[in-house]
Every structure is written in C-alpha cells, then in structure tokens.
Amino acid sequence: MSDSDGKKTLGLRGGSRPGNVKQSFSHGRTKNVVVETKRKRVVVPKPGAAKGGSGAAPSTSGSRRPAGISDAEMERRLKALQAAKAREAEEAAQREAEEKARAEERERRRAEQEAKEREQREAEERARAKAEEEERQRIAAEEAAKRAAAAPAPDAAKAERPAPSKASPAATPRKSEREREQRPSRGKGRDDNRRSGKLTLGQATGGEGNRQRSMAAMKRKQERARQKAMGGSVEREKVVRDVQLPETIVVSELANRMAERVADVVKSLMQMGMMVTQNQSIDADTAELIIEEFGHKVTRVSDADVEDVIKEVEDKEDDLKPRPPVITIMGHVDHGKTSILDAIRNARVVAGEAGGITQHIGAYQVKTESGTTLSFLDTPGHAAFTSMRSRGAQVTDIVVLVVAADDAVMPQTIEAINHAKAAEVPMIVAINKCDKPAADPMKVRTDLLQHEVIVEQMSGEVQDVEVSAHTGQGLDELLEAIALQAEILELKANPNRAAQGAVIEAQLDVGRGPVATVLVQNGTLRQGDIFVVGEQYGKVRALINDKGERVQEAGPSVPVEVLGLNGTPEAGDVLNVTETEAQAREIAAYREQAAKDKRAAAGAATTLEQLMAKAKEDENVSELPILVKADVQGSAEAIVQAMEKIGNEEVRVRVLHSGVGAITETDVGLAEASGAPIMGFNVRANASARNTANQKSVEIRYYSVIYDLVDDVKAAASGLLSAEIRENFIGYAQIKEVFKVTGVGKVAGCLVTEGVARRSAGVRLLRDNVVIHEGTLKTLKRFKDEVAEVQSGQECGMAFENYDDIRPNDVIEIFEREEVTRTLD
C-alpha cells in the first residue's frame, strides 16, 4: 500500500494549529512568521480503572496514556493531582471557617451597637418622661396651691388626690410607644451600613479613607441623630453677620467674611451679569448688593481704617512702672561725643569708626555703679546727618550737649540746641576736653548764652559739667546729673502691653537680612511677636542687645536689633505689634500704596504748561547722575540730602537710586543705562556686579568717610560748569592817520598810548567812547615789518579783519580773553 493512496495521515485531533504572526521592526519593517500552537493533554484515570484486574490495568493505562510516558511518570502525575485536590479542599474548608468567624464577629458588633443605641434611646425616653412627669407635677402642684388659696381645706385635699393618678395612664403608652419604636429598628429601615459587607478598619474608627473625623463632625452627627430621634430634622437658623466692606474686595475674601461658599457668591455674581472668578476684585457697590442678597449687614470701611487696629491705649496709673531714661549725646563733629560714651562704657567705639567720625546712630545700655540703668543714643555730628540728629532728639528723654572747651560753640552745636528745643527735652551741657592747655570752659558758657542756653553757673537752669573723656575727669558728676534729671522727670511706662518703639537705624545685613535697631518705648517686645513698621512687616525672629547677645524680650527704653523683617524700614519709622500677620500685612500694603500714590502725585506735572515750563528751565541745567548704596538707612538718607545741596542754577546732582546693602548687578545695569557712577559707602560690589561693571565700563567708587564722598561729587559737578571767560585789557592805541593800501584796504597809523598791542589779541574800536566794532587784527606792522607786538609809546600800522570804517582820533582797545575754571562753593 503506498503512502499516497488517498488516505489521511494519522495524527492527534486538534494537536497543532498553524497560524500567522506579523512582527513589526523599526523603520516600518514587518515580517510574517508561521507559528504552531500545541495543546497539552492531561490524562486523568477513571475511578473504575484501578478496580479491574491486574491484567486489565496495563491495557487501560496503555490505551489512555500519552505516548512516551512511563508508568513511574504516570504514577507521579496522578499523585501530584491528588495532592493538589486535597490542598484545594483544605483551603476551601479554611476559607469557610474564616468567613464564619467574620460573620459571627459582625453579628456580635451589630448586637453591641443595637444594644448601645437601644440603651441610649431608653435613657433619652426616661429623661423625657421624667421631665414631663416633673412638669406635670409642678403644674398640678401650682393648680392645687391656687385652689387651696381659693377654696376651703377639704376641697384642697380632694384637689390633691387625683394628681398622682394622671401620671399612670401616660406611663403605659410610653412603654408601648417604645416597643413600637424598637420594632422597626430591627428591619430594613436602618441608615447605617451594617449589611454592606466587610467591616473595614476605617469604618470601625469612624474615618473615611485616611481622614479622621473631627470632634465637631462627630458632634454634628450626634446632633442630627438626636433630632431625628425626637421627630424630624430642624432647619439650622441662619447667622446674620456684620460684613466690613472696603472700597474694593476680592470675591473669595467677600465669601470668607460672609461665611458663605465661594461658589454661591460667584453664582450670584454671574446671575447679575458679572463673569468673575474667586480671585478677581469687585467694587464696594456690587459687593454691597451681594451681601444684602445673602441676608447680611454691610459696614462700609475705608482703606485707612486698617490702621485702626493699632490703638493708642491710655495706660492706667497702676500699670505704669519706672523705666530707664533715654539719653542722646549730641554736639559738633570731633567734639568727643563717642569718646565720652566710650569712657562711660569702658569700650572702644571710636577706633572702629572710619576717620574717627561717627556715621551711624549707636544705641547702648549702661549700668552705673549705683545700679541705675541708662540707655544712650550716640548721634553723628557731621553736617550731613541732620535728620539723624532730629530723630535722636525725638525719641530721647534727656539731651547731653557735648561742647569742646578748646573749640566752643560750632554750627552743629547750634543745630543740636535747636533740635533739643524743638523736641522740648531737658538739656545737660558736657564741656569736654578740659584737660587740654587751650581749654576755656567759661568761653563755652558765655557762647551758649547767645543761643538762650543759660547754665547753672550763669544763674540758669541748665546743668553743666566739665569732663574729659581722655582722663575720665567729671564723668561721675555727669552720670549724677543725668540721674538727677531722670528722677525729676519721673519716667514711667507699662511693660505689660503690646510693644511700641522707634527705629533708630536700619540696614541690610548679608547673612541676617534686613535688621532694624529699635528703641522700645512702651510695652515689651518678645521673640515671635508679629509687628508692622512703616511700609514693612515681619515676625521677630531674634532680638540682639547692644552687647551682641540674644535676648528673649526687650522692655521699655531698651535698644535691640530686630531680625525677621520682610524689607528694610526707614529710620524713624514707628514699630507696632499686631495680633495677626494678616493685619500687619494689610497695614504695610496700605502704607506702601499710600506712599506710592503720594510720590506719584508729587512727581506728576499737573498741567502741560507746567511740564513745558519745567522742561524749559531744565534745558540749560547740566545734571550729574549718581547711584548711592550705603550700609545703613540713615547714612543713605544723609548722603542723598548732602547731594541735594550740591549745585547751582547751572549744574545739579541727581540721585537716580539710593539703597541699603551691597552693590548688585541690577545697580550696575541702571548705572550703565544712565551713564552714572556708583558711590558705595561702607559697602562693596559682589563678584557678578564687579565683572559686569568691568565689562560695561561702569565706575564704582568706595568710601568710608562722608567728607570724601561729598568732596568728590562736588569736584565732578564742578567739571560740568562752563568755564568763566575773563577779559584782561592789555593796551590802548590812538589812530593818527588812515591810509589806503592796495590789496589790504584801509590801514590805521596808530600810536600805542598805554600797555602793549598784540597781533593775537582781540580789539575794539571806540569812537567818542562808544564801541562801534569788536573783532581781530588782520595785520600789525612796525615800519614795513609784520610784528607780534608793539610796546607803549611806539607807532605802528593796524588793519581790522573785515572792517574798514576807521577814522582819525578813534581809539583802539586791545584785550585778551582768559578761561577760568569755576568750582561749586
């Protein structure tokens, strides 16, 4: 029999199934592959197969066994199958047991919950029944009392008898009612999820997901359940609020103030035709309509009302406690103010000041031998620091006026006297440098009389002490005089209130950020307090005293450095502690906006005519633009004021920008755009600013003494002045005769009567002492030779450039022009 006789090839039914698989590769390439999938056949013997005879077993197994599998392999497979079935049966039994245990546990918890709720309801019903019973007894007792008062005693006894019987009918229905209430609770009408499957840990603890329910939420849930148990829910009463409404308000803030949902407020606005989001501002009128629509009351407030939170509270006499006096040391530059303070403090501040000149306000506390605490403010004496001295006088209690015995009263001494008088503070005169041979204290006293400062030796009321900071002479007497003056003043403050103080100095520190030296005037400033100071606000991060130590609090008359500001305040700003950061931020923002508006109003020209007039005025004025960066706010302010004084009607200095802190790349960019130099006072440029300045050729100058800065700017401004032209008359000549020369024109034969006639000089022609021509000489000849000059008494020939109207007896005035460099005074 051949292989190709039409019969099919033997094979397993459904053994292999060919198919095509399309493989995809990169760059869009594909490939079709033919694959075969084979099914694995598992052989399971029938139960009756094993019971047959031994002879039947091989034939059965042989007929059902797949090809190529031995008896041993078949046995192993059967054993594995039986073991798997046994494991499945065990796992099913275990699962069934666990499910049963969980069901029992749920049933137990449900029973406990039902019992608890039942007890709670019974307790509430008992309480209600008891309250009703007491109410009925009270009413019955009152009625009985009334009847007893109106009727005789037997009637009163009869009236009292039925009272107990009224309670018994009411008790029975209460029980049946309770049973009726309990019965439906076992049915399907429950509002809990007891039959909703497994009890999770979150459901058991009362949370949803990872969120735990708050106490307020639990109380609200209990309240709702109680209201439901007592018969129906009660609508919550709407709370009507007084909403403070400024001129403009953000939608989200309006919703917050009304305690309404933001979505509801936005929806209401959209119904009014305003498509706004929660971050947009609306005007007061629109907001008022919304507030009234939601049923609240409107209280209109202005922007300035934000400062009402800073209240000036009058302290009670009992709360006031003695405070240390604040003493400001004032006087002319180099009269020894800081040296006296150094001698009192046993410190060396002068050595640290550039050029030995004080250029900052220093605040110190000194404890005397008698135990008295004194707060000292050391002010600069240089003319540029006027505003610093005035600030020092405003926050002080006593002014110590230092006058050098060898120098007497000087301009800044007079200024200090005026500041003290304006601030209405008592003055003590300290006559310093009394150890010098040229010292004359009596001259100082007599000079002070001219300025209405009459010392005690001149029969006045102002105390005067002769001191020497160098030898220490008279320092004890000075401290005694201060203590006596402080005792007379009876200085008191309330330390147990929100702090209020004055910024003496402010600076931008590289490592610490904005730092303000604050003199606390009232209350106690503590670490963590939130405050507002001028246009800045912050939270007290640290307080540092004059010795550089960190302190937790600062009471009245204590100077401290405050860290934690969001910006550098102006020196002289008032510091106030507020309750919340939001208040402080709001006040600072209002003040900043008000200052910006004020600057804009001051800088804006009101009319076009005024603008044109100003432009015409400035047309002939040269400006020297500069940028000023200083280490502290007071120094920057003093430099700007000094710059404003430099100049005249032809030239002036314009400060484009003044600030506190290191010179930055932004400053260099501004200087390059304006063509201005940068003046750094006790500050330096950072690395990137230095590189940018070198690339863009911007000049940066560093100074540590204010004299040098002012002198350099004055010299630079003087360079912008146009040179002054001066005329020097060098001679006169009289025309004797006029000749006509071919090719030259008219030539005057002259006699030099005075001085000298020069060829290069300028000439004027005078006729009857009236100038009729001014010009230059075309030629100057003596005899037939061209000469440079002709001396007095000699004759010469002169011809004017482009002018021929010359006559005998005219006088020629010869002069030279000279350019003189001008300087600013």
* 329 contacts 379 by C-beta, under 8 angstroms: yes
8 Å CB contact between 756 and 814: yes
Q: How far is CA 120 from CA 117, 126, 185, 378, 657, in A?
A: 5, 10, 14, 76, 76
Average of pLDDT values for 340-363? 57
φ, ψ at 525 (rounded to 5°): -90, 125
Kindly tell me the sign of the dihedral angle through the C-alpha atoms of 102, 104, 107, 109. negative
Query: Which pairing describes strands 326-331 and 398-404: parallel, antiparallel, or unpaired?
Result: parallel
Q: In the prediction, which pLDDT does 93 show?
A: 92
DSSP-derived 3-state class of residue 654 = strand
Q: Could you tell me if 286 and 270 are in contact, meaning their C-beta atoms sit under 8 angstroms apart?
A: no
Q: What is the distance between the alpha carbons of residues 639 and 628, in angstroms, rounded to a whole number?
A: 8
Taking the CA of residue 161 as centre, how many other CA atoms within 13 Å lie in the half-sphere pointing to its CB? 6
* CA dihedral of 494, 497, 498, 504, whole degrees rounded to 10: 10
Q: Average pLDDT in the 651-669 region?
A: 87
Angle at CA of residue 190, ends 187 and 196, nearest 5°: 100
Residue 327, SS3 per DSSP: strand
Under the banding of pLDDT at 50, 70 and 90, the label for residue 508 is: confident
**Of the candidates 539, 545, 492, 494, which has an alpha carbon nearest to the alpha carbon of residue 519?**
545
**What pLDDT, in 10s, does the model give residues 775-823?**
888 889 888 889 998 999 999 999 888 888 888 989 999 998 887 776 7
pLDDT digits (tens, 9 = 90+) for 88-101: 999 999 999 999 99
Structure token digits, residue 179: 């049973």
Residue 230 has a pLDDT of 75
Report pLDDT for 629: 92
Strand 427-432 vs strand 463-466: parallel, antiparallel, or unpaired?
parallel
Sign of the torsion formed by the C-alpha atoms of 221, 227, 231 and 236: negative
Alpha carbons 495 and 524: distance in angstroms, whole number: 5
For 622-649, give one letter per residue: b (16+ CB within 10 A) or e: eebebbbbbbbbbbbbbbbbbbeebbee
Q: What is the mean pLDDT of residues 504-517?
A: 83
Question: Has residue 234 got a pLDDT over 70?
Answer: no
Amino acid in the structure at residue 819: E
pLDDT at residue 89, as a whole number: 92
The residue written with tokens 């500050």 in the block is 683
Q: How far is CA 387 from the centre of its chain?
A: 25
Q: Which amino acid is it at 428?
A: I
Alpha-carbon torsion 573, 575, 579, 581, what sign?
positive
Residue 159 reports pLDDT greater than 50: no
| Beta strand pairing call for 373-378 and 525-526 | unpaired
Q: Can you give the pLDDT at residue 315?
A: 73
| 716 Cβ neighbours under 8 A, 6+ residues apart | 624, 677
Pairwise CA distance, residues 407 & 382, whole Å: 15
State the pLDDT confidence band at 15, using cuts at 50, 70 and 90: low
Whether the predicted pLDDT of 64 surpasses 70: no
671: phi then psi, degrees, rounded to nearest 5: -65, -40
> What's the pLDDT at 603?
59
- Nearest CA to 366 among 352, 376, 351? 376
Quickly state the pLDDT bin for 41 (edges 50, 70, 90): low
C-alpha span between 112 and 134 (Å, rounded)? 32
Question: Which residue type does 30 have?
Answer: T
The residue with greater pLDDT, 727 or 382, is 727
pLDDT value for 198: 59
**Highest-scoring range by mean pLDDT, 39-53, 124-138, 231-245, 585-599:** 124-138
Q: Are 637 and 667 in contact (CB under 8 A)?
A: no
Exposure class string for 146-156: b at 16+ Cβ within 10 A, else e: eeeeeeeeeee
More confident residue, 132 or 438: 132
pLDDT category at 314 given cuts 50, 70, 90 is: confident
End-to-end distance of the chain based on CA atoms, in angstroms?
138
Contact 363, 504 (CB under 8 A): yes
CA distances 825 to 251, 367, 388, 710, 724, Å, are 60, 46, 24, 12, 15
Q: Are 719 and 804 in contact (CB under 8 A)?
A: no
Q: How confident is the model at residue 83 (pLDDT cuts 50, 70, 90)?
A: very high
pLDDT of residue 607: 61
pLDDT the model gives residue 232: 59
509/403 Cα distance (integer angstroms) = 34
For 182-206, write each residue's pLDDT tens digit: 454 444 444 444 555 555 655 555 5
- Write down the pLDDT at residue 490: 85
The pLDDT of residue 246: 80
Question: Measured between alpha carbons, how far is 562 from 503 in angstroms, rounded to an integer?
Answer: 10
3-state SS of 727-760? EEEEEEEEEEEEEEECCCEEEEEEEEEEEEEECC
Residue 577 confidence (pLDDT) above 70: yes
Residue 604 has what pLDDT?
A: 54
Provide the pLDDT for residue 353: 47
Identify the weakest region by mean pLDDT among 359-373, 454-468, 500-514, 682-696: 359-373
pLDDT in the model for residue 825: 61
Distance CA 744, CA 704 (A): 67
Distance CA 17, CA 133 (A): 90
Minimal CA–CA distance to 430: which of 492, 371, 344, 316? 344
Give the model's confidence band at 267: pLDDT under 50 very low, under 70 low, under 90 confident, else very high. Answer: very high
- What mean pLDDT comes out for the span 219-235? 74
Per DSSP, the three-state class of 523 is: coil
Contact 818, 726 (CB under 8 A): yes
User: Are 586 and 307 within 8 A, CB to CB?
Assistant: no
For residue 347, pLDDT over 50 is answered with no
Q: Rounded distance, CA 532 to CA 307, Å?
A: 10
Q: Which residue would you say has higher pLDDT here, 620 or 699?
A: 699
Cα–Cα distance, 406 to 15 (Å, whole number): 126
pLDDT over 50 at 168, yes or no = no
* Residue 574 contacts residue 500 (beta carbons within 8 Å): yes
For the chain, give the percent of residues with pLDDT over 70.
Answer: 78
472: left (phi over 0), alpha (psi -120 to 50) or beta: left
In the chain, pLDDT over 90 holds for what percent of residues? 12
Q: For residue 157, what are its two tokens? A: 């006894």
* Count of residues in the chain: 825
Q: Which residues pair with 537 in a beta bridge?
A: 532
The average confidence (pLDDT) of the chain is: 78
Taking only the tens place, the pLDDT of each residue in 357-415 is 444 446 778 877 777 788 888 766 444 445 655 665 567 888 888 888 887 788 778 88
With cut-offs at 50, 70 and 90, classify the pLDDT of residue 80: very high
Q: Is the pLDDT of residue 321 over 50?
A: yes
pLDDT of residue 47: 54
